[in-house]
Chains A and B, each alone.
Chain A
Amino acid sequence: MAVNTIEFAPPPANVAAIPHDYVARLRVEQYHEMIQAGILQSGDPIELLEGWLVYKMTKKPPHQVSTGLTRNTLNGTVPKGWYIDTQVAITLQDSEPEPDVAIIRGQLEDYLTHHPTAKDVALVIEISDATLQRDQTFKQRVYASAKIPQYWIVNLVEGQIEVLSEPSGVGEDAKYLQQKIFRGADSIPVIVDNKTVGSVIASHLFRR
Protein backbone atom coordinates (compact mmCIF):
# COMPACT_ATOMS: atom_id res chain seq x y z
CA MET A 1 0.00 0.00 0.00
CA ALA A 2 1.36 3.35 -0.94
CA VAL A 3 1.99 5.68 1.95
CA ASN A 4 1.34 9.29 1.21
CA THR A 5 3.01 11.87 3.33
CA ILE A 6 0.40 14.41 4.17
CA GLU A 7 1.06 18.02 3.37
CA PHE A 8 0.33 20.65 5.92
CA ALA A 9 0.23 24.34 5.31
CA PRO A 10 3.60 25.86 6.23
CA PRO A 11 4.16 27.78 9.46
CA PRO A 12 2.97 31.37 9.31
CA ALA A 13 5.44 33.99 8.16
CA ASN A 14 5.15 35.92 11.39
CA VAL A 15 3.59 35.63 14.77
CA ALA A 16 1.26 38.55 14.02
CA ALA A 17 -0.51 36.36 11.46
CA ILE A 18 -1.70 33.97 14.18
CA PRO A 19 -5.20 34.73 15.47
CA HIS A 20 -3.93 33.88 18.95
CA ASP A 21 -6.82 35.20 20.98
CA TYR A 22 -9.42 33.00 19.35
CA VAL A 23 -7.55 30.11 17.77
CA ALA A 24 -8.73 26.67 18.82
CA ARG A 25 -6.17 24.05 19.68
CA LEU A 26 -6.61 20.31 19.32
CA ARG A 27 -7.14 17.99 22.22
CA VAL A 28 -5.18 14.74 22.40
CA GLU A 29 -8.40 12.80 21.66
CA GLN A 30 -8.92 14.78 18.44
CA TYR A 31 -5.30 14.21 17.48
CA HIS A 32 -5.79 10.47 17.99
CA GLU A 33 -8.96 10.53 15.89
CA MET A 34 -7.07 12.31 13.11
CA ILE A 35 -4.47 9.53 13.16
CA GLN A 36 -7.16 6.85 13.23
CA ALA A 37 -8.99 8.42 10.28
CA GLY A 38 -5.76 8.73 8.30
CA ILE A 39 -5.82 12.53 8.26
CA LEU A 40 -2.51 12.22 10.03
CA GLN A 41 -0.27 9.26 9.34
CA SER A 42 2.40 7.69 11.47
CA GLY A 43 5.14 8.73 9.04
CA ASP A 44 4.16 12.38 9.17
CA PRO A 45 6.79 14.66 10.67
CA ILE A 46 4.29 16.05 13.13
CA GLU A 47 3.77 15.87 16.87
CA LEU A 48 1.16 17.44 19.13
CA LEU A 49 2.53 19.95 21.64
CA GLU A 50 0.16 21.93 23.85
CA GLY A 51 -2.60 21.44 21.32
CA TRP A 52 -0.55 22.58 18.32
CA LEU A 53 0.46 20.39 15.44
CA VAL A 54 4.16 21.09 15.20
CA TYR A 55 6.73 20.03 12.67
CA LYS A 56 9.53 17.76 13.76
CA MET A 57 12.89 18.49 12.19
CA THR A 58 14.53 16.17 9.72
CA LYS A 59 17.21 14.24 11.63
CA LYS A 60 20.78 14.66 10.45
CA PRO A 61 23.30 11.80 10.75
CA PRO A 62 24.91 12.98 14.05
CA HIS A 63 21.42 13.08 15.55
CA GLN A 64 20.77 9.47 14.58
CA VAL A 65 24.20 8.38 15.82
CA SER A 66 23.65 10.09 19.16
CA THR A 67 20.22 8.52 19.53
CA GLY A 68 21.75 5.05 19.07
CA LEU A 69 24.73 5.77 21.36
CA THR A 70 22.46 7.09 24.10
CA ARG A 71 20.20 4.07 23.90
CA ASN A 72 23.11 1.62 23.94
CA THR A 73 24.91 3.40 26.77
CA LEU A 74 21.83 3.61 28.96
CA ASN A 75 20.74 0.06 28.24
CA GLY A 76 23.01 -1.46 30.90
CA THR A 77 21.57 0.75 33.63
CA VAL A 78 17.87 0.10 33.05
CA PRO A 79 16.49 -1.89 36.01
CA LYS A 80 14.11 -4.85 35.89
CA GLY A 81 10.53 -3.78 35.27
CA TRP A 82 11.60 -0.95 32.93
CA TYR A 83 12.74 -0.76 29.32
CA ILE A 84 14.34 1.74 27.00
CA ASP A 85 12.87 2.84 23.68
CA THR A 86 13.55 5.43 20.99
CA GLN A 87 11.24 7.89 19.23
CA VAL A 88 8.25 6.69 21.20
CA ALA A 89 5.02 8.65 21.44
CA ILE A 90 4.06 9.60 25.00
CA THR A 91 0.50 10.70 25.70
CA LEU A 92 0.31 13.70 28.04
CA GLN A 93 -2.64 15.87 28.96
CA ASP A 94 -2.43 18.28 26.02
CA SER A 95 0.57 16.95 24.12
CA GLU A 96 1.88 13.82 22.48
CA PRO A 97 5.62 14.38 22.10
CA GLU A 98 7.94 11.74 20.68
CA PRO A 99 11.19 12.01 22.64
CA ASP A 100 14.30 10.54 21.02
CA VAL A 101 14.93 8.17 23.93
CA ALA A 102 12.82 7.27 26.97
CA ILE A 103 12.97 4.88 29.92
CA ILE A 104 9.50 3.39 30.34
CA ARG A 105 7.86 1.23 32.98
CA GLY A 106 6.89 -2.35 32.17
CA GLN A 107 7.54 -3.94 28.81
CA LEU A 108 6.83 -3.13 25.16
CA GLU A 109 3.70 -5.31 25.06
CA ASP A 110 2.07 -3.26 27.82
CA TYR A 111 1.48 -0.51 25.27
CA LEU A 112 -0.44 -2.32 22.54
CA THR A 113 -3.61 -0.29 23.06
CA HIS A 114 -2.24 3.02 24.29
CA HIS A 115 1.00 4.94 24.47
CA PRO A 116 2.85 5.37 27.76
CA THR A 117 1.54 8.26 29.82
CA ALA A 118 3.51 10.59 32.09
CA LYS A 119 3.35 8.25 35.08
CA ASP A 120 4.91 5.44 33.01
CA VAL A 121 8.00 7.45 32.15
CA ALA A 122 11.15 7.81 34.29
CA LEU A 123 13.34 9.74 31.87
CA VAL A 124 12.95 11.42 28.50
CA ILE A 125 15.86 12.47 26.33
CA GLU A 126 15.93 14.84 23.37
CA ILE A 127 18.94 14.86 21.08
CA SER A 128 19.27 18.52 20.09
CA ASP A 129 20.95 20.22 17.21
CA ALA A 130 18.53 22.26 15.10
CA THR A 131 15.85 21.98 17.79
CA LEU A 132 17.99 23.09 20.76
CA GLN A 133 16.04 26.21 21.54
CA ARG A 134 12.70 24.43 21.25
CA ASP A 135 13.95 21.58 23.47
CA GLN A 136 15.29 23.93 26.14
CA THR A 137 12.15 26.04 26.36
CA PHE A 138 8.96 24.62 24.86
CA LYS A 139 9.73 20.91 25.42
CA GLN A 140 11.02 21.64 28.92
CA ARG A 141 7.65 23.22 29.68
CA VAL A 142 5.74 20.26 28.19
CA TYR A 143 7.71 17.62 30.12
CA ALA A 144 7.82 19.61 33.38
CA SER A 145 4.09 20.30 33.22
CA ALA A 146 3.50 16.53 32.88
CA LYS A 147 5.79 15.94 35.90
CA ILE A 148 8.15 13.62 34.08
CA PRO A 149 10.88 13.27 36.73
CA GLN A 150 14.01 13.55 34.58
CA TYR A 151 14.62 15.27 31.24
CA TRP A 152 17.99 15.16 29.51
CA ILE A 153 19.00 17.32 26.57
CA VAL A 154 21.92 15.93 24.59
CA ASN A 155 23.13 19.31 23.34
CA LEU A 156 25.06 18.57 20.14
CA VAL A 157 25.64 22.27 19.50
CA GLU A 158 27.68 22.82 22.66
CA GLY A 159 28.77 19.21 23.27
CA GLN A 160 27.19 18.79 26.68
CA ILE A 161 24.40 16.95 28.44
CA GLU A 162 21.85 19.08 30.28
CA VAL A 163 20.10 17.16 33.04
CA LEU A 164 16.83 18.67 34.22
CA SER A 165 14.99 17.44 37.31
CA GLU A 166 12.43 18.49 39.92
CA PRO A 167 9.56 19.47 37.65
CA SER A 168 7.46 22.33 39.00
CA GLY A 169 4.44 24.33 37.90
CA VAL A 170 1.86 23.74 35.19
CA GLY A 171 1.22 25.01 31.68
CA GLU A 172 3.18 28.04 30.55
CA ASP A 173 4.90 28.42 33.93
CA ALA A 174 6.14 24.85 34.18
CA LYS A 175 9.88 24.21 34.36
CA TYR A 176 12.50 22.02 35.99
CA LEU A 177 13.99 23.59 39.11
CA GLN A 178 17.29 21.67 38.92
CA GLN A 179 19.45 22.01 35.84
CA LYS A 180 22.94 20.48 35.75
CA ILE A 181 25.44 20.38 32.92
CA PHE A 182 27.73 17.41 32.27
CA ARG A 183 30.68 17.38 29.87
CA GLY A 184 33.50 15.08 28.79
CA ALA A 185 34.22 12.37 31.35
CA ASP A 186 31.60 13.65 33.82
CA SER A 187 29.50 10.84 35.27
CA ILE A 188 25.72 11.35 34.97
CA PRO A 189 23.56 9.51 37.51
CA VAL A 190 20.67 7.57 35.98
CA ILE A 191 17.63 7.90 38.23
CA VAL A 192 14.61 5.65 37.78
CA ASP A 193 11.68 5.74 40.19
CA ASN A 194 13.60 7.97 42.65
CA LYS A 195 16.53 5.55 42.84
CA THR A 196 19.97 5.95 41.29
CA VAL A 197 20.30 2.82 39.20
CA GLY A 198 23.65 3.51 37.60
CA SER A 199 25.62 6.15 35.75
CA VAL A 200 26.84 6.95 32.26
CA ILE A 201 29.75 9.05 30.97
CA ALA A 202 28.64 12.27 29.22
CA SER A 203 30.94 11.85 26.20
CA HIS A 204 29.58 8.37 25.53
CA LEU A 205 26.24 9.76 24.45
CA PHE A 206 27.31 11.57 21.30
CA ARG A 207 30.02 12.10 18.67
CA ARG A 208 30.52 15.38 16.93
Chain B
Amino acid sequence: MAVNTIEFAPPPASVAAIPHDYVARLSVEQYHEMIQVGILQSGDPIELLEGWLVYKMTKKPPHETANGKLLDALVPLVPKGWILRIQAPITLSDSEPEPDAAVARGTRQDYEDHHPKARDLAFVVEVSDSTFLRDREVKQRIYARAGIPHYWIVNLIEAQVEIYSEPISEEGLAQYARHQVYQDTDLIPVVVDKQIVGTITAFDLLP
Protein backbone atom coordinates (compact mmCIF):
# COMPACT_ATOMS: atom_id res chain seq x y z
CA MET B 1 0.00 0.00 0.00
CA ALA B 2 1.33 3.38 -0.93
CA VAL B 3 1.99 5.71 1.96
CA ASN B 4 1.43 9.36 1.25
CA THR B 5 3.21 11.86 3.37
CA ILE B 6 0.72 14.51 4.26
CA GLU B 7 1.59 18.08 3.52
CA PHE B 8 0.98 20.76 6.07
CA ALA B 9 1.00 24.45 5.50
CA PRO B 10 4.44 25.85 6.33
CA PRO B 11 5.26 27.77 9.49
CA PRO B 12 4.25 31.44 9.36
CA ALA B 13 6.77 33.89 7.94
CA SER B 14 6.76 35.98 11.09
CA VAL B 15 5.61 35.67 14.66
CA ALA B 16 3.45 38.77 14.14
CA ALA B 17 1.34 36.75 11.72
CA ILE B 18 0.11 34.41 14.46
CA PRO B 19 -3.34 35.22 15.88
CA HIS B 20 -2.00 34.25 19.29
CA ASP B 21 -4.76 35.61 21.50
CA TYR B 22 -7.52 33.53 19.92
CA VAL B 23 -5.90 30.59 18.21
CA ALA B 24 -7.22 27.20 19.30
CA ARG B 25 -4.80 24.39 20.03
CA LEU B 26 -5.51 20.71 19.62
CA SER B 27 -6.15 18.38 22.51
CA VAL B 28 -4.34 15.05 22.66
CA GLU B 29 -7.70 13.34 21.98
CA GLN B 30 -8.19 15.35 18.79
CA TYR B 31 -4.64 14.55 17.74
CA HIS B 32 -5.32 10.84 18.26
CA GLU B 33 -8.52 11.08 16.20
CA MET B 34 -6.61 12.79 13.38
CA ILE B 35 -4.19 9.85 13.35
CA GLN B 36 -7.02 7.34 13.54
CA VAL B 37 -8.87 8.74 10.53
CA GLY B 38 -5.68 9.24 8.52
CA ILE B 39 -5.49 13.04 8.52
CA LEU B 40 -2.14 12.45 10.16
CA GLN B 41 -0.10 9.39 9.33
CA SER B 42 2.57 7.61 11.30
CA GLY B 43 5.29 8.59 8.82
CA ASP B 44 4.50 12.30 9.06
CA PRO B 45 7.31 14.38 10.52
CA ILE B 46 4.92 15.89 13.04
CA GLU B 47 4.50 15.69 16.80
CA LEU B 48 2.07 17.38 19.18
CA LEU B 49 3.71 19.81 21.62
CA GLU B 50 1.53 21.84 23.98
CA GLY B 51 -1.38 21.55 21.55
CA TRP B 52 0.62 22.60 18.47
CA LEU B 53 1.39 20.39 15.52
CA VAL B 54 5.11 20.89 15.13
CA TYR B 55 7.56 19.72 12.53
CA LYS B 56 10.27 17.30 13.53
CA MET B 57 13.64 17.93 11.97
CA THR B 58 15.22 15.64 9.43
CA LYS B 59 17.96 13.67 11.20
CA LYS B 60 21.49 14.19 9.93
CA PRO B 61 24.11 11.42 10.06
CA PRO B 62 25.65 12.44 13.43
CA HIS B 63 22.17 12.41 14.95
CA GLU B 64 21.55 8.89 13.66
CA THR B 65 24.97 7.78 14.91
CA ALA B 66 24.20 9.18 18.36
CA ASN B 67 20.84 7.39 18.32
CA GLY B 68 22.61 4.14 17.58
CA LYS B 69 25.16 4.65 20.36
CA LEU B 70 22.36 5.48 22.75
CA LEU B 71 20.64 2.22 21.91
CA ASP B 72 23.87 0.20 22.29
CA ALA B 73 24.69 1.83 25.63
CA LEU B 74 21.25 1.60 27.20
CA VAL B 75 20.10 -1.86 26.13
CA PRO B 76 22.39 -3.75 28.59
CA LEU B 77 21.39 -1.47 31.45
CA VAL B 78 17.60 -1.57 31.22
CA PRO B 79 16.51 -3.56 34.27
CA LYS B 80 13.95 -6.33 34.37
CA GLY B 81 10.41 -5.00 34.31
CA TRP B 82 11.33 -2.07 32.06
CA ILE B 83 11.68 -1.58 28.31
CA LEU B 84 13.60 0.77 26.05
CA ARG B 85 11.59 2.49 23.32
CA ILE B 86 13.23 4.32 20.43
CA GLN B 87 11.58 7.31 18.74
CA ALA B 88 8.21 6.19 19.98
CA PRO B 89 5.43 8.51 21.15
CA ILE B 90 4.61 9.12 24.80
CA THR B 91 1.22 10.55 25.74
CA LEU B 92 1.22 13.52 28.12
CA SER B 93 -1.64 15.83 29.11
CA ASP B 94 -1.22 18.33 26.26
CA SER B 95 1.57 16.82 24.19
CA GLU B 96 2.60 13.66 22.41
CA PRO B 97 6.34 14.00 21.86
CA GLU B 98 8.48 11.28 20.35
CA PRO B 99 11.74 11.33 22.31
CA ASP B 100 14.76 9.62 20.75
CA ALA B 101 14.72 7.14 23.63
CA ALA B 102 12.44 6.42 26.57
CA VAL B 103 12.66 3.87 29.35
CA ALA B 104 9.17 2.70 30.28
CA ARG B 105 7.82 0.37 32.93
CA GLY B 106 6.44 -3.02 31.99
CA THR B 107 6.53 -5.08 28.81
CA ARG B 108 6.09 -4.22 25.12
CA GLN B 109 2.70 -5.91 25.28
CA ASP B 110 1.57 -3.39 27.90
CA TYR B 111 1.63 -0.67 25.25
CA GLU B 112 -0.29 -2.50 22.58
CA ASP B 113 -3.28 -0.17 22.79
CA HIS B 114 -1.82 3.04 24.21
CA HIS B 115 1.48 4.85 24.45
CA PRO B 116 3.34 5.16 27.76
CA LYS B 117 2.23 8.05 29.95
CA ALA B 118 4.40 10.19 32.21
CA ARG B 119 3.95 7.91 35.22
CA ASP B 120 5.20 4.93 33.19
CA LEU B 121 8.53 6.57 32.39
CA ALA B 122 11.89 6.51 34.16
CA PHE B 123 13.60 8.90 31.76
CA VAL B 124 13.50 10.26 28.23
CA VAL B 125 16.40 11.23 25.95
CA GLU B 126 16.62 13.75 23.13
CA VAL B 127 19.60 13.82 20.79
CA SER B 128 20.07 17.49 19.87
CA ASP B 129 21.79 19.28 17.08
CA SER B 130 19.50 21.59 15.12
CA THR B 131 16.74 21.17 17.71
CA PHE B 132 18.83 22.12 20.72
CA LEU B 133 16.89 25.26 21.67
CA ARG B 134 13.59 23.48 21.32
CA ASP B 135 14.87 20.55 23.38
CA ARG B 136 16.32 22.70 26.16
CA GLU B 137 13.36 25.03 26.47
CA VAL B 138 10.10 23.64 25.11
CA LYS B 139 10.80 19.95 25.67
CA GLN B 140 12.29 20.60 29.13
CA ARG B 141 9.10 22.46 30.06
CA ILE B 142 6.90 19.65 28.70
CA TYR B 143 8.78 16.80 30.37
CA ALA B 144 9.11 18.68 33.67
CA ARG B 145 5.43 19.59 33.70
CA ALA B 146 4.57 15.93 33.15
CA GLY B 147 6.83 14.99 36.07
CA ILE B 148 9.11 12.64 34.15
CA PRO B 149 11.91 12.02 36.69
CA HIS B 150 14.94 12.42 34.40
CA TYR B 151 15.50 14.06 31.04
CA TRP B 152 18.71 13.64 29.08
CA ILE B 153 19.90 15.83 26.26
CA VAL B 154 22.71 14.40 24.16
CA ASN B 155 24.01 17.79 23.03
CA LEU B 156 25.92 17.25 19.80
CA ILE B 157 26.71 20.95 19.40
CA GLU B 158 28.72 21.20 22.62
CA ALA B 159 29.67 17.50 22.77
CA GLN B 160 28.18 16.91 26.18
CA VAL B 161 25.38 15.04 27.85
CA GLU B 162 23.02 17.11 30.01
CA ILE B 163 20.95 15.40 32.65
CA TYR B 164 17.95 17.24 34.01
CA SER B 165 16.29 15.97 37.18
CA GLU B 166 13.94 17.02 39.98
CA PRO B 167 11.04 18.28 37.88
CA ILE B 168 9.12 21.19 39.34
CA SER B 169 5.85 22.48 38.00
CA GLU B 170 4.28 25.58 39.42
CA GLU B 171 1.72 27.95 37.99
CA GLY B 172 2.64 28.35 34.33
CA LEU B 173 6.26 27.47 34.96
CA ALA B 174 7.79 24.06 34.62
CA GLN B 175 11.44 23.12 34.60
CA TYR B 176 13.95 20.75 36.15
CA ALA B 177 15.62 22.09 39.30
CA ARG B 178 18.83 20.14 38.77
CA HIS B 179 21.06 20.24 35.69
CA GLN B 180 24.24 18.24 35.36
CA VAL B 181 26.70 18.26 32.50
CA TYR B 182 28.87 15.29 31.53
CA GLN B 183 31.76 15.31 29.06
CA ASP B 184 34.33 12.82 27.75
CA THR B 185 34.83 10.05 30.30
CA ASP B 186 32.57 11.54 32.97
CA LEU B 187 30.43 8.78 34.43
CA ILE B 188 26.71 9.21 33.93
CA PRO B 189 24.50 7.38 36.42
CA VAL B 190 21.56 5.67 34.79
CA VAL B 191 18.65 6.00 37.19
CA VAL B 192 15.49 3.91 36.86
CA ASP B 193 12.83 4.11 39.54
CA LYS B 194 15.23 5.93 41.92
CA GLN B 195 17.83 3.15 41.63
CA ILE B 196 21.17 3.56 39.88
CA VAL B 197 21.12 0.63 37.48
CA GLY B 198 24.51 1.30 35.92
CA THR B 199 26.82 3.96 34.53
CA ILE B 200 27.92 4.99 31.08
CA THR B 201 30.30 7.70 29.90
CA ALA B 202 29.50 10.74 27.81
CA PHE B 203 31.98 9.32 25.33
CA ASP B 204 29.76 6.24 24.96
CA LEU B 205 26.91 8.42 23.70
CA LEU B 206 28.60 11.08 21.58
CA PRO B 207 29.48 10.43 17.94
Contact = CB atoms under 8 A, between A and B. Distances in A.
Nearest to B16: A172
B20 A19 contact: no
B25 A11 contact: yes
Give the one of B22, B26, B51, B53 with max A CB within 10 A.
B22
A54 B22 contact: yes
A110 interface: no
B8 to A, nearest CB: 4
Contacts of B6: 30
Interface string B155-186: 00000000000000000100000000000000
Interface in B86-106: 94
A171 B12 CA distance: 10
A24 B33 contact: no
Given A9-B27, A9-B94, A12-B25, A24 B9 contact: yes
Contacts of B55: 22-24
Interface of B: 6-27, 30, 33-34, 37-39, 46, 49-55, 57, 94, 134, 138, 172
B68 to A, nearest CB: 25
Contact of A25 (B12, B33, B49, B51): B12
Nearest to B28: A9
B50 A8 contact: no
Interface of A: 6-15, 17-27, 30, 33-34, 37-39, 46, 49-55, 94, 134, 138, 171-172
A27 B54 CA distance: 14
A54 B21 CA distance: 9
B13 A19 contact: no
Nearest to A173: B13
A26 B138 CA distance: 21
Contacts of A20: 11-12, 14-15, 18
Contacts of A172: 12-14, 16-17
Contacts of B15: 15, 18, 20
A15 B134 contact: no
10 closest A-B pairs by beta carbon, nearest first, are A9-B25, A25-B9, A24-B8, A8-B24, A51-B9, A9-B51, A37-B37, A24-B53, A53-B24, A15-B20
A159 B158 CA distance: 60
B202 to A, nearest CB: 28
A26 B25 contact: no
Contact of A18 (B33, B39, B52, B57): B52
A11 B30 contact: no
A20 B53 CA distance: 11
A52 B46 contact: no
A123 to B, nearest CB: 23
A54 B19 contact: yes
Given A20-B18, A24-B54, A54 B24 contact: yes
Nearest to B138: A19
A55 B138 CA distance: 24
Contacts of A18: 15, 18, 20, 23, 52
A6 B39 CA distance: 18
Contacts of A55: 22-24
B75 to A, nearest CB: 31
Nearest to B37: A37
A9 B172 CA distance: 15
Contacts of A19: 49-50, 52, 54, 134, 138
